[in-house]
Amino acid sequence: MNGESFLFTVFALATCLGAIAVVFSQTVVRMAFWLVISLGSTAALFFLANADFVGAAQLLIYVGGTLVLLVFGVMLTASGPYLKIATSPGEIVMGSCVGLLFLVVVYASLNGVDWREPSTAVTESGNPVVATGNTLRPIGLSFLGSRPDQDLTADGETLTPGYLLPFEIVSVHLLVVLIGAAYLARAKRRAVGSG
Amino acid sequence: MMFAAQSIAEFFQGFGGWQYVIAAVIHAVLLVHVFAVSPFAFIWLERKVSGRIQDRLGPTRVGGLFGWLQSLADGIKLVQKEDLCPSAADSMLFRSAPYIVCVSSFAAFMVLPFSHGWVAVAADCGLFIILAILSLEVFGIIMAGYSSGSKWSLFGGMREAAQMVSYEIPLAICALVPVIAAGSLNLGEVGGMQRGWFTNWFMFHDPFTFIAFFVYFVVATASCKRAPFDLAEAESELVGGFHTEYSGMRWSFFFMGEYASMFSVCGIASVLFIGGWNTGLAPIDDALYAARNASLDGTAGSAAVGYLANVIGAGVFAAKASFGVFVQVWLRWTLPRLRIDQVMTTCLKYLVPISCFLFLGATLWPLMLVTGMGRTTWTAPIGDRAAEGLQETREGTVEVSAIAVPRIDISLAVPTANNIESEGVVQ
């Protein structure tokens, strides 16, 4: 085992153990702490893969931004000290169902990828293309607005520009929800005469 | 010969895959010392400067002249104190919070270049990484405030977090103003571009970077939670802020973190705005640069001279950054503390719009100069200096990779029939 794989092992373990600790701890702020460990180690894995920018973005957005927001939310909304979350059995069942489904999806897509060294091939028109190892999926391309599974030039084919528009609408919807939540959570202001 | 190796990793080349681990450990030990010794000096400086400003003598006894061992005496006292954890506290979070603050402000030194090529991690987006790492500190402070089980701590932590999170915005925007001029986020390259007369410093690049330097300094002072922005530690209203319940070494970790991040934000200011390790006097800079370049020929004598040139560079850098810390100490004992609403108003209503304006101005400045003067800078063109800067950092680091973008040989990308067959992928 060389140094790099040693470091990879350390950070991969920290990522997984942190994630498990998030699930099993009861206090919200402790969960946030374990999430910092997990997300910070993920950033370290990005740095190990020489993806400096992605690693720094991970730190800035998730650890420095989202988690701080989360803890702020806990602080502002908690009615007593050390807010605890008791998970009901139903929630555990639902959570594990979603988790297992996600695991199946991840496993399937990992199996679908050709992990051998990518090599170059030439198309009929003479352009070199890099064989991607079967990492593209029609649904992923549809989110980008491209529909490789449909021939849009065929007669009678209606224009179906993929799922780009619904995807964008969902993100705008998130923004609307955020603004609405901020409006509802805002303390009612008394009218103060400003001199 | 030790000096002949271009980096520590190269020096340990015979150690299989472990050379990078050994190099990392050595870098970490070196940085830990910078990290530990600089607060040592700055705490003494703080005591001495505050004493002089208040017409006192400050420390005079410990260690003889000027009481320079005062920090050591403080340290020994703090180590001896009991490590308390209040019964109302969440002990795991309470105990780990100081480490988060300490580790994040320490990790920022990783990408900070001390001299030409003297940087633990020469990352291409170094500035981005350093800003990301510095933003982690706030989490430790929130945790400290929340887990102490005390209302003073909670209020202090909330104020501190609100302040640090909002001052991050103008800090990042102001740091981007010289980056627009430089066209690089690599701190080593940005420093290398400012070689020559001090007019080459990015502070004097255009009026916007000149103002941005002062705005950056104010914002950096605030984001280090230094007076006049030290609301969290407002003794008169909040006892001790988020560290009310801490004692002994855990308390001092917060202060080591604070002094270290003071040094690192001043170090960033020094690299981005005032020339980093360059002296600002063209003959001296050129001589040092020539000495470094001559050291690449591999002989022991010239390597030692190049090493010495780097030591001088690191000294210049440390002097500039330490002067910044001195000014922060000076401000602390001169200006009265702001109220919390004034702190937030200053940031959100004044500093953010000002920094946005500076950012916009800095992007438009080259265009204005082009229409007026037919060139993009009033000093030596950045393009020429960029080439030098690139050359400088590339030579200084281990892996001398050619500038990749324009040199992709298209013919290599089209394999011959033989190649395709041998690689076995024809689809």
| Residue of chain B whose alpha carbon sits nearest to that of A75 | B146
Taking any CB pair shorter than 8 Å as contact, residues of chain B touching chain A are: 16-21, 24, 88, 90, 92-93, 96, 100, 123-125, 128-129, 131-133, 135-136, 138-139, 142-143, 146-147, 149, 154, 158, 161, 165, 168, 413-415, 419-420, 423-427
d(C-alpha B228, C-alpha B218), whole Å: 10
Residue B228, pLDDT above cutoff 70: yes
The pLDDT tens digits of the residues spanning A25-73 come to 887 778 888 888 999 999 999 988 888 899 999 988 888 888 888 877 7
What Å distances lie between residue B274 and A73, B52, B196, B204, B365, CA to CA?
40, 28, 12, 9, 19
State yes or no: pLDDT of A168 exceeds 50.
yes
In this complex, the residue of B16, B129, B131 whose CB is nearest that of residue A2 is B16
Q: Which of A97-111, A158-172, B166-180, B183-197 has the least mean pLDDT?
A: A158-172
The distance of B427 to chain A (nearest Cα, Å) reads 7
CA distance A145 to chain B (A): 25
> Residue B245 pLDDT > 50, yes or no?
yes
pLDDT band of residue B356 (cuts 50, 70, 90) is very high
pLDDT (0 to 100) of residue B340? 81
Q: Which of A21, A73, A50, A23 is nearest to A185 (CA)?
A: A73
- Cβ distance B93 to A30 less than 8 Å, yes or no, reads yes
pLDDT in tens, B45-102: 888 888 888 888 888 888 777 877 888 888 888 888 888 888 888 888 888 888 888 8
Q: Higher confidence at residue B8 or residue B28? A: B28
Average pLDDT over residues B294-306: 72
Longest dimension (CA), chain B: 85
Facing B146 at nearest CB: one of A2, A65, A75: A75
Query: Could you give the ipTM of this predicted complex?
Result: 0.76
Q: Three-class SS of residue A92?
A: helix
Taken in order A184, A189, A190, A194, is the CA torsion positive or negative? Answer: negative
| Residue A67 forms contact with B (CB below 8 Å) | yes
| Residues of chain A with C-beta less than 8 angstroms from the C-beta of B425 | 119-121, 131
Residue B367 pLDDT > 70: yes
Give the nearest chain A residue to B147 (CA atoms): A82
pLDDT above 50: residue B401: no
The arithmetic mean of pLDDT across residues A156-167, rounded, is: 71
> Which of B313, B304, B281, B298 has the alpha carbon at shortest distance from B393?
B313
Minimum distance, in Å, between the CA of residue B103 and any CA atom of chain A: 12
Q: Compute the distance between CA of residue A37 and CA of residue A41 in angstroms, rounded to an integer.
A: 6
Cβ contacts (< 8 Å) between A56 and chain B: which residues? 125, 128-129, 131-133
For A121, phi and psi rounded to 5 degrees?
A: -130, 165
pLDDT at B211: 93
Average pLDDT value for residue range B118-146: 86
> B276 near B327, Cβ under 8 Å?
no
| A47 and A7 Cβ atoms separated by less than 8 Å | no
CB contact (8 A) between residue B21 and residue A7: yes
pLDDT level of residue B6 (50, 70, 90 thresholds) = low
Round to whole Å and give the CA distance between B66 and B58.
8
Asked whether the CA dihedral B418, B419, B422, B423 is positive or negative, the reply is negative
Residue B161 near residue A68, CB atoms below 8 Å: yes
